[in-house]
């Protein structure tokens, strides 16, 4: 069976999220114009890298460990981790351009330099990350896709978990935060089957946030609407 491709040669990938919301402020447009190229990880998309040449992570970050945030929202957590861990390089992927603009503003304010930003689908990033190159990954309040017929769109499916497992080092940590009970169910069903061990030993291990956690806008919304966050920690085996 042949796979459908774009004219550029890229395999066809459905994307169901938002690329842009309400209009950007002038300052946010400035962040995109002035800063995005500077923090680009390099050739990630198919147009500029049709051969899918792997990224040179040593060239980007030296010999630092590299972390990956999958869908960084408004960027609060990513910038927090970058500031608290200057000896680590962090790559964030987010197709929602308003979130990218918010992140760039936070990067400028914090003067963080150990970050790279891909304004697009993490699946394209998986294509160009070397095998066993990532030491930690974060999936924080992903789109819940609550309708049952949409559950296949969630991140915790083989389409995403297989390449994630490939790019993570053995022993790497994968953190998942969600306030949706059915997303917890699907995560616990799917993630261990793709080479991960759930590290919880008791209820407090998924009820309490991580020690280095910073609450995000999505978590605050969950609290306001009466939903309970869950904090799941996995280790790549």
Task: Report, as an integer, the average pLDDT of 192-198.
Answer: 97
Q: What is the distance of C-alpha 77 from the center of its chain?
A: 11
Contact of 141 with 197, CB cutoff 8 Å: no
Note the CATH number of domain 26-42+53-236: 3.40.50.150
Instruction: Return d(Cα 173, Cα 175) in angstroms, integer.
Output: 6
Q: Which residues are within 8 A (CB) of 127 and not within 5 positions of it... i.e. 6 or more apart?
A: 44, 52, 163
Tokens of 224: 């306001």
Q: Is 131 a catalytic residue?
A: no
pLDDT of residue 137 exceeding 60, the answer is yes
pLDDT of residue 3 exceeding 70, the answer is no
On average, the pLDDT of the chain sits at 90
∠ CA(192), CA(199), CA(184), 5° rounding?
Answer: 55
Torsion of CA 27, 32, 38, 40, to 10 degrees: 140
Contact of 132 with 115, CB cutoff 8 Å: no
Select which of 143, 182, 205, 212 is catalytic: 143
pLDDT per position as a tens digit, 101-125: 999 999 999 999 999 999 999 999 9
Q: Which residue has the higher pLDDT, 150 or 74?
A: 74
Per-domain residue ranges for the chain?
Answer: 26-42+53-236
Instruction: Return d(Cα 44, Cα 50) in angstroms, integer.
Output: 9
Tokens of 51: 């051969």
pLDDT per position as a tens digit, 6-61: 444 555 545 444 445 567 888 888 889 899 999 999 889 888 899 999 999 999 99
């Amino acid at each position: 069976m042949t796979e459908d491709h774009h004219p550029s040669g890229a395999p066809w990938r459905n994307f169901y999220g938002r690329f842009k919301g309400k209009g950007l402020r002038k300052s946010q447009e400035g962040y995109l114009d002035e800063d995005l190229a500077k923090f680009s990880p390099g050739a990630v998309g198919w147009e500029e890298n049709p051969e899918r040449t792997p990224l040179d992570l040593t060239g980007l970050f030296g010999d630092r460990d590299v972390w990956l945030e999958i869908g960084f929202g408004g960027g609060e957590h990513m910038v927090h981790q970058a500031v608290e861990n200057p000896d680590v390089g962090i790559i964030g992927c987010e197709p929602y351009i308003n979130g990218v603009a918010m992140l760039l503003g936070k990067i400028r304010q914090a003067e963080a330099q150990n970050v790279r930003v891909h304004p697009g689908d993490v699946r394209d990033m998986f294509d160009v990350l070397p095998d066993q190159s990532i030491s930690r990954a974060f999936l924080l309040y992903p789109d819940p896709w609550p309708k049952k017929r949409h559950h296949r769109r969630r991140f915790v499916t083989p389409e995403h978990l297989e390449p994630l497992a490939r790019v993570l080092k053995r022993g790497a940590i994968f953190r998942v935060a969600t306030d949706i009970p059915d997303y917890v169910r699907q995560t616990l069903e799917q993630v261990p089957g793709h080479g991960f061990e759930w590290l919880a030993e008791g209820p407090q291990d998924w009820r309490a946030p991580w020690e280095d956690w910073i609450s995000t806008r999505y978590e605050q919304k969950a609290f306001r609407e009466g939903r309970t966050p869950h904090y799941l920690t996995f280790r790549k085996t």
